[in-house]
Amino acid sequence: VIDGTLCGPESLSVCVQGQCIKAGCDHVLHSSKKLDNCAVCGGDGSSCRKISEFFNKTTYGYSDVVTIPAGATNIDVKQRSPRGIVYDGNYLAIKRADGSYLLNGDLLVSSIEQDVHLRGTVLLYSGSNTRIERLQSFHPLPEPLTIQILRVASEKVPPKIKYTFFVPKNLPYERQKAKDKVSHHSLRPLLTAQWVFGDWSPCSKSCGSGWKRRTVECRNKEGGGSGQCPPELKPENIQACGDLPCPMWRANGWSHCSQSCGEGMRTQRISCMDYTGKEIENDKCDPKKLPAASVTPCKLEEC
């Protein structure tokens, strides 16, 4: 990977010598600048306004929740299961203005987390087999999108949806009343079994390249074990992690000459330093990698 490459589609960290180093939104290493809610680097959030609503009324099939306009930023849509169950029969969907679906259309539901790409913008989707189904995007939306809810469950299990996004103050926008739109597709059981995954473990290393793991199991609708999940859709159960390079031993100047006059010796100082070049405690560095100190003759003056 070329140095300076972003570590991910929604990451501000950049790759340096094979490791992800934190950077600001100005792409300067160790910069503290962040995107505000309006997606302005280093902004104060004053150029946009917040739109936030709850939604819990649907009919069978697809129902419109909200149409998010082009230019909206910091989109966050959550669909919470009423009783904390995973398979509640309610699923988020994304529809474009031309009627095509970016996510969960035609009664086909994705159970796994994924990145939904749209003209340079990425929408992060949690997957449907979580207690809180979620859609997020941080950068300006390149085109309007309609968020829908697909309901195949009983009326006794209504969805609980909260959506939030920010629109530029100069963009006309009025809160909309969602209109129920029933799909003409005949409803059928969507999934007999799904991949269910747990939370990621902590990274195996506090610095450098490590690994984090999680459990991934195939479960049926009742929560029991199943062998019916598509193997090609199995989520990863191990992932690389670690943002910061580990401290390293570095040469740090020389000692004073051992003799005030005549021939003497001086020794190179070896210090433990973090990735910024700051000297830290020696026990932070690997003692097995401590290099031998160089020794060189010195002479300050004749005796």
- The answer to whether residues 16 and 23 touch, using CB atoms and an 8 Å cutoff, is no
At the top level of CATH, the class of 48-168 is: mainly beta
Q: How many Å apart are CA 77 and CA 53, to the nearest integer? A: 10
Determine whether 48 is exposed, middle or buried from the number of CB atoms within 10 Å of its CB (0-12, 13-18, 19+). buried
Most confident by average pLDDT, 76-85, 142-151, 271-280:
142-151
- Would you say residue 86 has pLDDT above 70? no
Tell me the mean pLDDT in the region 42-67: 88
The region of weakest confidence among 43-57, 177-191, 263-277 is 177-191
At the top level of CATH, the class of 192-244 is: mainly beta
Cα distances (Å, whole numbers) of residue 288 to 166, 275, 278, 284: 52, 19, 21, 12
pLDDT at 66: 92
pLDDT at 81: 74
pLDDT at 187: 40
pLDDT digit string (tens) for 107-160? 888 888 889 999 888 999 998 878 889 999 988 999 999 999 988 766 667 788
Phi, psi of 287, deg, nearest 5:
-65, -25
Cα distances (Å, whole numbers) of residue 231 to 24, 129, 195, 216, 228: 39, 16, 9, 11, 9
- Residue with the bigger pLDDT between 31 and 257: it is 257
In this structure, the chain runs to a length of 303
Q: Where in the chain is the domain with CATH 2.60.120.830?
A: 48-168
pLDDT at 275: 78
- The answer to whether residues 277 and 247 touch, using CB atoms and an 8 Å cutoff, is no
- Would you say residue 180 has pLDDT above 60? no
Give the burial string for 136-155 (b: 16+ CB within 10 Å, else e).
bbbbbbeeebbbbbbbbbee
pLDDT at 265: 92
The region of weakest confidence among 24-38, 88-102, 108-122 is 24-38
- Would you say residue 196 has pLDDT above 80? no
Q: What band does 10 get if pLDDT is binned at 50, 70 and 90?
A: low
Tell me the mean pLDDT in the region 198-222: 82
pLDDT at 153: 66
Q: Where in the chain is the domain with CATH 2.20.100?
A: 192-244
The region of weakest confidence among 76-90, 110-124, 256-270, 271-285 is 76-90
pLDDT at 232: 66
Tokens at residue 229, please? 């999940």
- Residue with the bigger pLDDT between 258 and 239: it is 258
pLDDT at 195: 73
Q: How many Å apart are CA 137 and CA 72, to the nearest integer? A: 9
pLDDT at 1: 54
Tokens at residue 269, please? 């100082």
Tell me the mean pLDDT in the region 55-77: 88
Mean pLDDT computed over every residue of the chain:
82
pLDDT at 25: 80
Determine whether 173 is exposed, middle or buried from the number of CB atoms within 10 Å of its CB (0-12, 13-18, 19+). middle
Query: Which residues, including other chains, have CB under 8 Å from residue 100's CB and lie 6 or more apart?
Result: none
- Pinpoint the alpha helices (H) of 78-172: none
Tell me the mean pLDDT in the region 152-173: 81
pLDDT digit string (tens) for 226-237? 887 777 667 788
